[in-house]
Structure 1
Amino acid sequence: MITTSPAADMFDVISPVTGRVVGTHPRGSADDIDDAVRRAHEVAGWWGALGFDARARRLDAWRGIIARRAPELAELTHIEMGKPRADAMLEIAMALEHLAWSAKNAARVLGRRAVRSSLLTANQSASVEYLPLGVVGVIGPWNYPIFTPLGSLSFALAAGNTVVYKPSEYTPGVGVWLAQRLSEVVPEHPVLQVVTGDGSTGSALCRSAVNKIGFTGSTATGKKVMTACAETLTPVLMECGGKDALIVDADGDLEAAADAAVWGGLSNAGQTCLGVERVYVHEEVFDAFVDRVVTRARTIRAGSGGNAQIGPITMPTQIDVIRRHIDDAIGKGGRAVLGGLDAIEGNLVQPTILVDVPEDSVAVTEETFGPTLTVTRVRDMDDAVERANASRYGLGLSVFSRRRGDEIATRIRTGAVSVNSYVMYAAVPSLPLGGVGDSGFGRVHGADGLREFTFPRAMTRQRFPSILPLTTFRRTPRIDALVRVLVRLLHGRH
């Protein structure tokens, strides 16, 4: 359901593929947001009261519609943000896996379960359950406009919340499409409302009466979201930027590692928060690895046609960031073994591989969000771990090593790690996804993702009167003496 006033200001969506207007949408005001949140609160009780099984049936039906009409959704994604259609289909496939998991597992993860009492509370039965917060506000990104927001939308809905969603102004049509499809299987009430708009609309959502905000976007914008939410003490889930590294040990599979680096760094034109931006390679295999990366990357071309393997840069302002990063890397002594400043052609950026880039270059320290890689020689894995951990970001990591992969991975401060593969932790529905440091906090996906949109409620029920009534003014000196003895017996020997 789209929620904006008829007199709303309108904005155009310009396709980076064609340069033409591909959609016109309302710029939601603070009043539009407040109206949507009010309606969401009105129907939250109905949606929550349906129960896990009934909600699961609705979400499964939603999943079925998305799957059957996936080519239509992929085309819309391609038109709005430039992603190749085949990659958009891959995004849809991954999103549906997580949607299926949330519907199937919500009751098991969130439903009431018994908890053991202690010796002092043996007369009490105890339980815990996870209840919906009420109304969740979601602010989504443009780079993965299906997979990423559905990680919050589907899990919040499965947990029993209603949702007000503000999609990116670059991909509002995708958000509207998803909400319209859900309304086909939940026609009674608007459990998912979309309010399109820009940053001002998102700011209004943060200041509204939602019970939590799920945000995905840059770290800089995330800080603004937190500032706004602090005014009303609204809790936030923050999925922010990354500067993910890929580490290659001397015994790593160079073919697999090079393939992962090229896909991880160049797919989606590098516009991936979990994308590979830094590669640290053992000096014994550095030259061989670089040769393999360059050979593969040389075959990848950015374009707007149907055969393009990567698309254009979606945000026009990002071109200047990419140019600045390449220029700084080369200016500080780095070398472009493929691409370089000449790789920037309008809103297309051809693959660029940089070596010998100092660690203080912005190409190493800041999120580039373009199809570039820095590949750095390291003397050993201690050196690689130290450099990987030097980033203020901590989202994901890939390690390629036949013998020491797990050992190396456990030393990296990130929210997720893939050993001998790239980003597979994001594809496993039962695993949580999120970062540390400037990459944010909170988790989507898996059991942690479901609990993120709930609050735990503890309950005790007295089964019989306690032989040691402790919480009463009728407590006797004899009971106090027994408590002292029990404290010593239970805990004093430790």
Structure 2
Amino acid sequence: MTDSQALLTTAPLGTNPVAPVPAAARTAADVVTPELVARLTRGVAGSGRTANHTPFTGARLADLPESTPEDVAEAFARARAAQGAWAATPVKARAAVLLRFHDLILQRQGEILDLIQLETGKARLHGHEEVQSVAVAARHYGRKAPAYLRPKHHTGVVPTLTKVTELRQPRGVVGQIAPWNYPLELSVGDALPAFVAGNAVVMKPDTETALTALWARDLLIEAGLPAEVFQVVIGEGPVVGPEVVRHADYVSFTGSTRTGREVAQGAAARLIGVTLELGGKNAMIVLKDADIEKAAAGAVRACFSSAGQLCISIERLYVHESVADAFVARFAARTKAMRLGNSLAYGADMGSLVGERQLETVTRHVDEAVAKGAKLIAGGVARPDIGPLFYEPTILDGVEAPMAVCTEETFGPVVSIYRFSDEDEVVERANGTPYGLNSSVWTTDSRRGHALAARLRTGTVNINEGYAPAYGSVRAPMGGMKDSGLGRRHGSEGILKFTEAQTVAQQRLMPLAPSFGMDDEKYAAFMSTSLKVMKALRLR
């Protein structure tokens, strides 16, 4: 199929209950025009050429500049030259750029939704999750950044005599390596707090989803961000990624745990900071008092949004044995009723996987599990009739530890069902993985849900939902424990990580040394008495 042909959905396989949705008339060629590509790639450092493709059909979307190590160095040089003036811009003016960006992205969401779908294969509603997340982050940091970055005054070592101010200085040029699965939210969404903190950013998006990141850059510039402050480099990860780490003053990385370790080692060698959001094998726990209908509906969202290609989606589903049969029946019925689609319109419940590697992993995990005795409750087959990378939402029962799907991150539309009998058991099993990113608890007893949540070793826990409440509440931090990462996005931690704390202390009236005729012994006695008095006055 060529770019000029419409994206089509064909009839479902003979006995398969998962139905497709009708195709939209708009085509990839209508969206990704030569004029659009020329505009978005203007100023991108690249001496070579590469291309990206749409998962819907496998067709080429655009030819893009490909950056060499020399191009990366040039991009950092340009960003560094522009960063000083941007940092000198009042923080309220920087924050105003984010608020204008908020309005623009909501006004122009149709454009970016088309690009997200074409580059990732997502259902349109799942693409809109990215629009929502980025708008929320832009509003939050547009409103709160001045308070987060405001100088803070602290009690000095000797009250009234020592005046202490804590300043927040931008780190300089942030190197950002963004993944393919959420190309808007995990590119510009993560860069917004870095910009408002006074940094420049050099971003390496995944080549297959670079148009989305470039569109967001173009919109930020339209909102008032100086163009040189936001540089984009494009190329193969093993070539361009290490160069980003080599030149950056701070690194923000989202991707696999294996690559995250390499990024961390590169940053450590240079003694620069790094934030890592890595893999997950997230668990959802359905307690015996849960609302089974709501839990089944929530499991569909938690497991199959963006075809399961979401670091915080659910891959392990623990259900109390007393309600397991009822839950599985309802969950399976909802899953089998899902509509697959490749159209640039709302209506599909799930889209495509993004690439051959993801399809191979999903197929291997499911086929191996079934061969070793697991039972298919739903799905378990590819859907080439809809597109080359479509795979049905899949539920497995009877999964055991030797199976890869039990312990390895699948990153696709596959979930395994496990039964449990008591809460101590399920906490141990949910925590029994190297990962610790997200988890979900379903119960009608709020106190019980919070008590169980506190025992789970994950950076976020959602009660009676899968992932959206914790992730969308941007005043609170979000990130992973254990092998799921370092650092946090969102809230104060999400912006302060892009700054260096600087303490300025001014001493007044007398020095912190013998003075006014005191010898060493008298000064020591004076300070000892002063320390006792400060403790008695409960000074901190």
TM-score range, shorter chain: over 0.9
Equivalent of residue 353 in structure 2, options 313, 316, 320: 313
| Mapped pair 1:478 → 2:518 | no
Deviations 1:125-164 (A, max 9, x none): 2221221111111111111111122332101001111111
Aligned equivalent of 1:289: 327
Deviations 1:208-266 (A, max 9, x none): 2x210101111112122223333322321101111111011111111121111111111
Aligned equivalent of 1:407: 451
| Mapped pair 1:10 → 2:52 | no
Deviations 1:240-299 (A, max 9, x none): 111111011111111121111111111111100000111111111111111111011011
Give the superposed CA RMSD: 2.3
Describe the SS at the equivalent of 2:400. Answer: coil
Distance 1:161 1:176 in 2: 18
Specify whether residues 161 and 473 from structure 1 end up closer, same or farther in structure 2 by C-alpha distance, changes over 3 A only. Answer: farther
Contact kept? 1:151, 1:444, Cα under 8 Å: no
Contact kept? 2:188, 2:216, Cα under 8 Å: no
274-283 or 54-63, larger mean C-alpha shift: 54-63
Matched to 1:321, the amino acid is T
| Alpha-carbon distance, 1:302 to partner | 3.0
Contact kept? 1:434, 1:444, Cα under 8 Å: yes
Aligned equivalent of 1:69: 108
Specify whether residues 481 and 368 from structure 1 end up closer, same or farther in structure 2 by C-alpha distance, changes over 3 A only. Answer: same
| Alpha-carbon distance, 1:469 to partner | 3.2
Equivalent of residue 183 in structure 1, options 221, 236, 240: 221
Specify whether residues 257 and 5 from structure 1 end up closer, same or farther in structure 2 by C-alpha distance, changes over 3 A only. Answer: closer
Matched to 2:229, the amino acid is V
71-80 or 81-90, larger mean C-alpha shift: 81-90
Aligned equivalent of 1:458: 503
Distance 1:489 1:60 in 2: 49
Describe the SS at the equivalent of 2:208. Answer: coil
Matched to 1:195, the amino acid is V
Matches within 5 A, 1:15-34: 15-34=54-73
Deviations 1:172-216 (A, max 9, x none): 0011111112222337551111112221112211112x2101011
Contact kept? 1:328, 1:361, Cα under 8 Å: yes
Deviations 1:345-378 (A, max 9, x none): 4411101101121134321211101111111000
Deviations 1:70-92 (A, max 9, x none): 10010011111111223212320
Matches within 5 A, 1:130-209: 130-186=168-224, 188-199=226-237, 200-208=239-247
Specify whether residues 445 and 314 from structure 1 end up closer, same or farther in structure 2 by C-alpha distance, changes over 3 A only. Answer: same
Contact kept? 2:514, 2:520, Cα under 8 Å: no
Matched to 1:69, the amino acid is R
Contact kept? 2:302, 2:465, Cα under 8 Å: no
Aligned equivalent of 2:117: 78
Deviations 1:440-473 (A, max 9, x none): 011111111010101111121223326x736999
Specify whether residues 356 and 117 from structure 1 end up closer, same or farther in structure 2 by C-alpha distance, changes over 3 A only. Answer: same
Aligned equivalent of 1:357: 399
| Mapped pair 1:339 → 2:385 | no
Matched to 2:228, the amino acid is P
452-461 or 176-185, larger mean C-alpha shift: 176-185
Contact kept? 2:53, 2:59, Cα under 8 Å: yes
Distance 1:165 1:242 in 2: 24
Aligned equivalent of 2:95: 56
Describe the SS at the equivalent of 2:207. Answer: coil
Specify whether residues 369 and 203 from structure 1 end up closer, same or farther in structure 2 by C-alpha distance, changes over 3 A only. Answer: same
Contact kept? 2:214, 2:232, Cα under 8 Å: yes
| Alpha-carbon distance, 1:34 to partner | 0.7
| Mapped pair 1:276 → 2:276 | no
Deviations 1:355-408 (A, max 9, x none): 121134321211101111111000111111101101111111110112210010
Aligned equivalent of 1:105: 144
Describe the SS at the equivalent of 1:398. Answer: strand
Specify whether residues 189 and 293 from structure 1 end up closer, same or farther in structure 2 by C-alpha distance, changes over 3 A only. Answer: closer
Distance 1:411 1:65 in 2: 42
Equivalent of residue 438 in structure 1, options 453, 469, 483: 483
Describe the SS at the equivalent of 1:252. Answer: coil
Describe the SS at the equivalent of 1:231. Answer: helix
Identity rate, percent = 34
Matched to 1:402, the amino acid is T
Contact kept? 1:301, 1:351, Cα under 8 Å: no
Distance 1:265 1:77 in 2: 20
Matched to 1:415, the amino acid is G
Contact kept? 2:104, 2:223, Cα under 8 Å: no
Matched to 1:108, the amino acid is A
386-395 or 121-130, larger mean C-alpha shift: 121-130
Equivalent of residue 365 in structure 2, options 315, 322, 325: 325
Distance 2:338 2:515 in 1: 71
Distance 1:472 1:411 in 2: 57
124-133 or 290-299, larger mean C-alpha shift: 124-133
Q: Which runs of 5+ in 1 are unaligned?
A: none
Matched to 2:411, the amino acid is F
Specify whether residues 367 and 483 from structure 1 end up closer, same or farther in structure 2 by C-alpha distance, changes over 3 A only. Answer: same
Aligned equivalent of 1:367: 409
Contact kept? 1:312, 1:347, Cα under 8 Å: yes
129-138 or 475-484, larger mean C-alpha shift: 475-484
Describe the SS at the equivalent of 1:434. Answer: coil
Describe the SS at the equivalent of 1:418. Answer: strand
Contact kept? 2:278, 2:311, Cα under 8 Å: yes
Describe the SS at the equivalent of 2:167. Answer: strand
Distance 1:361 1:410 in 2: 29
